[in-house]
Structures are given as C-alpha cells and as structure tokens.
Homo-oligomer: A and B are copies of this chain.
Amino acid sequence: MMGDISPDLFMDAVLAYQQTAAIKAGLELDLFSNIGEGHKTAESLARKTGAAVRGIRILCDYLTARGHLEKHGDQYRLTQSTAAFLDRRSPSWMGSVVEYLAAPEMMALFLGEPAAFVRNGGSIGLANNAPDHPIWVKFARAMGPSRVSLAAKIASELATPSPRKVLDVAAGHGMFGIAIARAVADAQITAIDWDGVLSVAIENADAAGVSARYTTLAGSAFDTDWGSGFDLVLLANFLHQLDQDGCVALLRKARESLVSGGRAVAIEFLLNEDRVSPRFSAMFAFQMLGSTPQGEAYTARQFEDMGRAAGFTTVTTKPLPPTPQSLILFEQV
C-alpha cells in the first residue's frame, strides 16, 4: 500500500453493482426530473416521491459522490449531463435504457455465474435468443427514445445519394430507418424483425408521420426472403451479435439484395487494433460475450475483411462523435 498502489479500483469494481442499483432507484423515483423541477432538498424530494428522507438523502449523497448530482449546502442540483439525459423533460432523455441494459434478465446473465460465459466463450443469451420473446419488445421500447438524435445524424449522412428503397434489418424500434424516411421524402422503408418488435417500429413510424412509406417483414434476418432492388440495407447494431461467419453471411445477403451501386451500412462499436480502446467498445465486447452466444466488437480491419469476403469492394468507416459508435459503409465500386 505505497505510492500509487491501492485497492480502490478493485473495490470500486466489486461494489460496482451498487452504482447500477443507485441509478435505477433514482430513475424509478424520477429523482432527476423532481430535482430539475425544483425539489432540491432530501425533505422536499421525500415529500414528492413518498420515500423516506433518510433513503433519499443517502441515495442523493451517493449520486453526488459519483458525479451524477451536485450538492450545495443541503440542496442537490443536476449536473448538465444529468439534466440533459435523465430529466424526463429533456428532449435527449434516455432514462429508459435501464429497462433493457439493466433489466433483471440481463443482469442475471452476467451476475448469475460470471465465469461460466467466459469459460464457454459466449452466453446462452437473453431468452435463449427465442424469437418473439417479450425481452425484444422491451429492448425496442427501452432503447428507441435514446436513439433519436443519433438516427437523425446518420440519416443526414446517408441522404446523399438519396436512397429510394431502404431495408432496415433487425430494425428493433425502427428509429434508424424512420429517420431516413424523414430525411428523404420519397424513401420507402422495409423493416425486418420479429413480429412483436415490429409493432413498436410501426408505432414509431406512425408517430413520425412516415407510416405510408413504411412496410414490415416479420421473421429472422437470416431466414426471411428480403426481396431485392434496395438502394440501402441498414444493419444497425446487429453485426455485433454475430460471429465473423455470421457477419459475412449477412453481408453477402445484403449485397445480393442491393441494386448496382447500392450500399450496406452498419452502425457499430469499432475497436482499435489493440482491442482495448476505445474503452466503450471494449466494454461493449464484454457485454456481447455475456449476453449473446457469439457476439463481440470488431475492428475496422475485421469489418473490411468481412465486407470483402461478402463481395463488397470498398469498406469505409466513419466515426459518429460524440457517440461511441461508427458508420461502416460497404460498397461495390
């Protein structure tokens, strides 16, 4: 215990599950919106939420110690980031992601037998990856709202040349395809996913006013006949669930469904060649190890190799700052 040698990082990791508990408790009590609305003391927050003052005080102190709140005297305030992402009144609110990313089913995969999926080199996966399991609907509902601004940004990247016929594979909430429908006035979107999930995408397409140009195709991305003539095949946050053979097979299917000059576009967490940076991508690879049978994160070079194996000639990556994600464009020139 001298110099920089300290058990702090280890202890922080051991107790890290308590961070998840604290942020879930704060969201469930809508603490962040309540503080944003002016309930600034533990007493006022306790009255508003019906919780014990002592519980609120200790939770808010913890959230302050971890940087989610500020404390001035006995008053709590939202940090700018917390106001942007955890106050329900903010357009960039993303509190719902806990409903999927820290769902009991998801946490059980990691915490039930943490060494098992490392030993096996993969996880049995959520709901055994069963089609039409309610977890996928939960996913679509939980993750959709947080993707609106990223989807708009990606749509503006992909609006030129204008895609007329777009296929959104494993569409989930459908936000990425829907954003393209909004950005390109005559684009026709076809979304593929499990039937239950597509009902969420259809709701979102309705809300965005693009349902007249939105059709769906229920089933597995691998087994469904996609048809052909697409200008753009979207693979948004899907390839990372597959191993490299699966990625190549799916990219080949994408290529075969494209018109000449069409392109496939993946949205992914790119790893650098060292595979330990950027940090979020390395974390994401572990998330895939623990929650899918064969998924992980890939490097730009791996995507290039997989794209070429699928018959594409050009593979280009483009970061999407400030998000941790990148676009990967697969083209035949």
B9 near A53 with CB under 8 A, answer: no
Instruction: Tell whether A114 pairs with B22 under 8 Å between CB atoms, given A10-B94, A81-B9.
Output: yes
Partner of A82 from the list B10, B25, B322 (CB cut-off 8 Å) is B10
- Tell whether, in the assembled complex, residue A14 and residue B101 are in contact, meaning their CB atoms are under 8 Å apart: yes
CB <8 Å contact, B13 and A289? no
User: Which of A58-66, A166-174, A182-190, A251-259 lines the interface with chain B?
Assistant: A58-66
* A156 contacts partner chain B, Cβ-Cβ < 8 Å: no
- A 126-175 contacts with B by CB, 8 A: 146, 149
Which residues from chain B contact A86 at a C-beta distance below 8 Å?
A: 10
Q: How far is the CB of A70 from chain B (nearest CB, A)?
A: 9
Contact A92 B1 (CB under 8 A): yes
A28: CB under 8 A from chain B? yes
A7 close to chain B: CB less than 8 A: yes
Q: Which residues of B are found within 8 Å of A101, using beta-carbon distances?
A: 14-15
CB neighbours (8 Å) of A53 from chain B are 121
Q: Which of A6, A62, A80 has the most CB of B within 10 A?
A: A62
Interface string of A42-78 (1 = CB under 8 A from B): 0000000111111111110110111110010000000
Contact A119 B58 (CB under 8 A): no
Q: Mark A257-294, 1 if CB is under 8 A from B, else 0.
A: 00000000000000000111101101101111110000
- Known A7-B94, A16-B16; contact A24-B115, beta-carbon cutoff 8 A: yes
Provide the A295-322 mask, 1 if CB < 8 A to any CB of B, else 0.
0100000000000000000000000001
| B23/A64 in contact, CB under 8 A | no
A57 to B289, CA, bound (A): 10
Interface size on A, residues (CB 8 A): 89
Q: Report Cα–Cα, A64/B13, bound state, in Å.
A: 13
Question: In whole angstroms, what is the CA distance A9 to B23 when docked?
Answer: 11
Is A218 at the interface (CB under 8 A from chain B)?
no
A20 touches which of B16, B119, B274 (Cβ 8 Å): B16
Whether a CB of chain B sits under 8 angstroms from the CB of A85 is yes
Most buried by B among A5, A50, A285, A286: A286
Cβ contacts under 8 Å, A110 to chain B: 17-18, 20-21
- A282 closest partner in B (C-beta): B65
- Distance in angstroms from A71 CB to nearest chain B CB is 5
From A21, A85, A287, name the one whose CB has the most chain B CB atoms within 10 angstroms: A21
Q: How far is the CA of A117 from the CA of B29 in the complex (A)?
A: 12
Docked CA distance A110–B117 (Å): 23
* Contact of A118 with B by CB under 8 A: yes
8 contacts between A and B (CB under 8 A): A8-B81, A9-B67, A12-B19, A15-B101, A15-B287, A21-B290, A55-B119, A58-B285
New A-B pairs, 18, CB < 8 Å, besides A11-B97, A71-B274: A2-B322, A3-B80, A8-B81, A10-B85, A14-B97, A16-B18, A18-B290, A22-B286, A28-B115, A29-B119, A52-B120, A55-B119, A59-B118, A59-B289, A61-B276, A62-B285, A65-B282, A71-B276
